């Protein structure tokens, strides 16, 4: 199973992606993950946030356009990357999508969800300060066969329980 992971935009997410990748490999067995590194982690970020996001999307498109992934996982800002990079896959998992923050930058995450044919699981902590659960619930009700919402017990935006995330990922992949 080939998985592409887009973490959050902060360089702190490199370790999060590596940890999730390791747990997927050791506990789920056949999951081989590619962790995406952002341009802004190795170069000076653009002061224009919208332009920086567009540059990151373009970079991912060129980097992965010939790759085959069964699933893409996006966390926080990585949710936008998972949807906008134009990479074909069967399923997408969006962890902690910051819908309103991205909308302020001119990116409509739920509009992007509607353009994708893949099945989508959205996983959020119940008290994540950066996620609007009511907004997500509204959109998942529009297409419940294709878009699922999983609310987890948590009070932050870190999502460090990789064992729980692995169970959710494996369960989602097993469902038709």
Please give the domain boundaries of the chain with CATH numbers for all domains.
Answer: 2-174 (3.40.50.1820)
The whole-angstrom separation of Cα 148 and Cα 113 is 12
pLDDT tens string 115-164: 999 999 999 999 988 888 998 998 889 899 999 999 998 888 888 888 88
The whole-angstrom separation of Cα 175 and Cα 38 is 31
pLDDT tens string 94-110: 999 998 888 888 888 88
Residue in the structure block whose two tokens are 């990116």: 107
pLDDT at 129: 87
Check pLDDT > 70 for residue 45.
no
């Amino acid at each position: 199973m080939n998985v592409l992971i887009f973490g959050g935009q902060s360089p702190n997410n490199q370790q999060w992606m590596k940890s999730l990748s390791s747990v997927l490999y050791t506990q789920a067995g056949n999951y081989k993950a590619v962790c995406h590194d952002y341009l802004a982690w190795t170069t000076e970020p653009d002061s224009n946030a919208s332009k920086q996001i567009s540059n990151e999307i373009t970079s991912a498109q060129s980097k992965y356009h010939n790759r085959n992934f069964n699933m893409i996982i996006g966390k926080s800002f990585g949710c936008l990357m998972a949807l906008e990079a134009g990479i074909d896959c069967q399923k997408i998992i969006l962890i902690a999508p910051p819908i309103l923050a991205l909308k302020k930058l001119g990116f409509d995450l739920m509009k992007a969800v509607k353009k994708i044919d893949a099945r989508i699981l959205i996983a959020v902590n119940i008290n994540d300060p950066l996620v609007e659960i009511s907004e997500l619930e509204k959109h998942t009700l529009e297409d419940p066969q294709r878009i699922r919402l999983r609310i987890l017990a948590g009070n932050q935006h870190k999502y460090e329980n990789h064992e729980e995330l692995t169970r959710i990922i494996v369960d989602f992949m097993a469902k038709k």
